[in-house]
Chain A
Amino acid sequence: MSLSIATGLRAIRQTSVAFGRRGYAAAAGANTLLLVEHKDGAITGATLNALTAAKAMGGNITALVAGEAPEAVAKAIAEFEGVSKVLTASDASYEKNVAEDLAALLVAVQEKNAFSHIFAGHTAVGKNVIPRAAALLDVAPISDIIKVESEDTFVRPIFAGNAIATVKSSDALKFVTVRATAFESAVSGGGAAAVETVAESPKVGVTQWAGEEIQKSDRPELASAKRVISGGRGMKSGENFELLYKLADKIGAAVGASRAAVDAGFVDNSLQVGQTGKIVAPELYVAVGISGAIQHLAGMKDSKTIVAINKDADAPIFQVADYGLVEDLFKAVPELTEKL
């Protein structure tokens, strides 16, 4: 008797699983979860680029907003075209993007919803959380994609952007982080997704956020600025960066730096452009006193127009620059600022 009940239950379960699978296969395209990154109540830029990448696959997109009070951000992302549902999860640790708790949440949400893809921006948060969640689900994630070929095939740079690989995932679930500069930013409007609260997932609670030091600046955000002026070792000191700030303010640009300038203490780490710093692709990139090492080029060579100002005519930066000026930056930069 009990055996037959068990068999019957198993049959029902198998039927529902099979039905569920058929249901998914019949739906058009991917069924994607987008991890919405936000800070101080605003959706971060990279999330909107990741949304565009997710839309390139077709299918449904569900946005996950986790934070201390996720409602306002959830409402904002619900208004984007292509977002069919928004899930919210509330906890203080999510607000600080604590990896252990956020990855556990992703796993719980995935187990309940069986998404085909999980997308996030390739930001400090995305890089930190996505691989952990992927490992917990036994999936090999794909980092920093610059193109969506199909639902399982993506394009990503390797070797500091000196080679471009097309890769295909054999996992049923794809974890993908998206290079912001490779996709247009999604524009708000045209969407009216329903917002639902997800069931609470257990907190790991082992890591506490103890504080932050954010560099305050009135200039545009480096990663998304339309114009970027960067300084390198040739600037000689932090005080001399004032020359670049003046030029940047005149044309509404963000200021970046090479590793040499950061290591020498001229400017903060968060301004580093390159393989291991920020990747930028503005309309105008002005490299001042930067030689153009492979690692720096990795972060800026997709800029639309590159200008180099350097007194060394043999500096490698001139090989990628659309316009190169061989001159002492201490003469050329003030002159340029004055003439604009």
Chain B
Amino acid sequence: MGVRILERVQLSDLVVKLVFDAPLIARKRKAGQFVILRIHEEGERVPLTIADADAEAGTLTVIFQVVGKSTRHLAELQVGDEILDLVGPLGQPTHIEKFGTVCCIGGGVGVAPVHPIMQAMKAAGNEVIAILGARNKDLIIMEDEFRKCADEVMLTTDDGSAGFHGFLNQALEETYLKPGRKIDLVVAIGPVPMMRAITEMTAKYKVPTVVSLNAVMVDGTGMCGGCRVSVGGEVKYVCVDGPEFDGHQVDFKSLTERQRTYIEQEKSSDEHYCRCLKGGN
């Protein structure tokens, strides 16, 4: 009944790539969509963006960072292991058309979901600039994959250990926006503060910007509203109306606050898990 892991790659200290045997989802998914998985009977439902899929091989790839109990557990699974449930594809696909020049920006593990969007943008005839950012050079993932199909790839690191020294919004402004390079669309995915900084920057230069929001979710099918977010003053559900929205319309402050609802419980759950691993209780 479960869903088998076919491949596992440790991309960096905390970032893992898993390939699942999921032929139905692999066949249907489009860029921008996500899945929800549950590892075991006592597990929670975890949303993860689809990083890649192979319809012919029937495989589905997710890339995630260890941030708490469930992702820690997921990262410990090996090839041949099974998870209990995998549901998808969920959410609206990315709106793909020929915009002109599209700048695809990924921060940290957000680089992974940018990849299928960049591929689709490229296939639609866009010129694609990719900017990949991380805290340091060891945390940059998927550089090779991006180099394969982006017209330009730029790296940034917070500590300057590779590429541009600084944050993604600074790299975007100094390298492209300020010099007056024509950019028709920015797609930015990463931590909320990063997406917020990017949208503030692109608003200044009036460049349309799409962000992919990572709200707290339960079902992912529109039945609970846990992932609700205010976009242009209207309540939207990230799981069915999104996950992508016009970044200039998103209420990032409320999104950040809602993401922090369970912060104490998440910590205690992770600690509980670590204690169990040590054999205690």
Q: Are the chains A and B members of one assembly?
A: no
Residues of A within 8 A of B (CB): none
